[in-house]
């Protein structure tokens, strides 16, 4: 399985948080590929900058240590967001949905709004 982690799933996995579902944790451990999007890196850095989050290191370094790959934001991903229905107002999450769709990845997220999109997801 090829997974794309939402920002919260990424953090909860690294922190071994009980907030991450057992199913999601097992899927991440057993996945063939685990990806963290540049959009999640961007979101986490913004949250840290405004004091809403404390991180032990840069998100991309934390991902590399965990054996995760980084998914750059491509023009195709950006353009695909314009074709998505407006189920979700958060531009970070809409871009994650577009990336998962475009790259054939399963999105790991607790965000129930994602279920409205024709994207593979798990929690």
Helices (H), 1-123: 7-14, 22-30, 38-49, 59-65, 75-81, 91-103
49 domain residue, yes or no: yes
Is residue 32 a part of any domain in this protein? yes
- On the question of pLDDT at 115 being above 90, the answer is no
The answer, yes or no, to whether residue 119 has pLDDT greater than 80, is yes
Query: Is 75 inside any structural domain?
Result: yes
Q: What is the domain-level CATH number for residue 99?
A: 3.40.50.1010
pLDDT at residue number 12: 97
Cβ proximity of 36 and 59 under 8 Å: yes
Model-level pTM? 0.91
Q: How many domains would you assign to the chain?
A: 1
What is the SS3 assignment for 13? helix
Query: Do 5 and 39 contact (CB within 8 A), yes or no?
Result: no
**16-33 exposure pattern, b = at least 16 Cβ within 10 A, e = fewer:** eeeebeeebbebbeebee
Asked if the structure places residue 123 within a domain, the reply is: no
Residue 121 located in a structural domain: no
Q: Are strands 69-71 and 33-37 parallel, antiparallel or unpaired?
A: parallel
Average pLDDT over residues 56-77: 95
Domain of 66, in residue numbers? 2-115
120 domain residue, yes or no: no
């Amino acid at each position: 399985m090829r997974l794309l982690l939402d920002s919260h799933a990424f953090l909860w996995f690294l922190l071994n948080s009980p907030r991450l579902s057992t199913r999601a944790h097992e899927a991440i451990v057993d996945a063939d590929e685990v990806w963290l999007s540049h959009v999640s890196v961007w979101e986490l850095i913004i949250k840290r900058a405004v004091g809403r989050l404390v991180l032990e290191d840069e998100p991309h370094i934390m991902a590399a240590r965990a054996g995760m790959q980084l998914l750059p934001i491509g023009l195709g991903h950006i353009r695909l967001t314009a074709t998505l229905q407006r189920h979700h107002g958060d531009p970070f999450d809409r871009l994650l949905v577009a990336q998962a769709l475009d790259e054939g990845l399963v999105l790991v997220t607790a965000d129930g709004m994602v279920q409205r999109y024709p994207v593979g997801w798990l929690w």
